[in-house]
Structure 1
Amino acid sequence: MHPLLALKTLLLACACLLMLGCNSSPTAVTVEQLLKTGQSWTGTPYTWPDGKPEFTVVKITLPANTALKWHTHPMPNIAYMVAGELLVETEDGMHKTTLKPGQVLPEMVNTSHRGTSGKAPVELIVFYAGTPGMPLSH
């Protein structure tokens, strides 16, 4: 068989296998609740900002061995850890927690805190629930 014809036959066979695999349907839809709360991780109840709601979702990548600046958030927000390990602490030193991949953290509102990455870079997705024009942090 000519090498070009053999390559075409191989590619056609791979395409057919991929199509067969793609046509398989999932056996069930699954839903896993990651978090349901009305308070931050320190136990402080959330209040909703006045005005029309505006949701913002950001992906944050933090290099290894890096501390964020102390900051606050004026609105409720939730962080989902994708990769790495992140120590989260309040500026007053009263609260500390460590996040690992797959964990969810309901962040604090108007309480100074920061995150510090470990030996590996950190990747997290943060969902903010504010109002138009409201800054995500101070």
Structure 2
Amino acid sequence: MLPARLIKPLFFATLCTSLLGCTHGPQEVQTEQLLKTSHSWDGTAYETYPGSTPELTVLKITIPANTTLKWHTHPMPNVAYVLSGELMVETRSGHQTRLKPGEVLPELVNIPHRGTSGNSPVELIVFYAGAPGLPLSKPD
């Protein structure tokens, strides 16, 4: 007969391997491509790229609920990943898109646009591929 101190661990180990299919080896790394593009969300092709040393910037941006950002442009390609909330993005020419959590937006370059949050705050992670001294955005 097994000592009482070993019965419980042995029971859970048996349960895990026989009923639940648990594995004890390392898990595989999984990769999911969220975006690969050569154009922005409105279909405009990316034509130029800053011609100096690359500088990558990653920001977490929180936009309060029911907020409309000011019109602005970006001088370099960038991508926004929506963590939470809903964001409507528009251009002055009337193009619009609505983003939900888990969606990715390839931003416009040198085209005025703005975003408007819904009834809850929006959290974004934005990846900028710029150059030293180049502003991430400019008011328009």
TM-score, normalized by the shorter chain, greater than 0.5: yes
Residue 133 of structure 1: aligned partner: 133
After superposition, give the CA deviation of every residue in 1:73-108 in whole Å (9 maximum; x if it has no partner): 000000000000000000221x10000000000000
**Structure 1 counterpart of 2:3:** none
Partner of 1:8: none
1: distance between equivalents of 2:93 and 2:27?
Answer: 50
Specify every segment of 5 or more residues in structure 2 that has no aligned partner in the other structure, as ranges: 1-23
RMSD across aligned C-alpha pairs, in angstroms?
1.4
Question: Aligned with 2:56: secondary structure?
Answer: strand
| Aligned-partner Cα distance in 2 for 1:133–1:62 | 25
Report runs of 4+ in structure 1 exceeding 4 Å deviation. none
* Residue ranges of structure 1 left out of the alignment (5+ in a row): 1-23
Count of residue pairs brought into register by the alignment: 115
2:15 aligned residue: none
Question: Partner of 1:36: helix, strand, or coil?
Answer: coil
Identity percentage over the alignment? 68
The aligned runs of 1:1-138 (5 Å cut-off) are 25-46=25-46, 47-93=48-94, 95-138=95-138
Amino acid at match of 2:93: D
Deviation of the 1:26 alpha carbon: 4.7
TM value normalised by structure 1 = 0.80
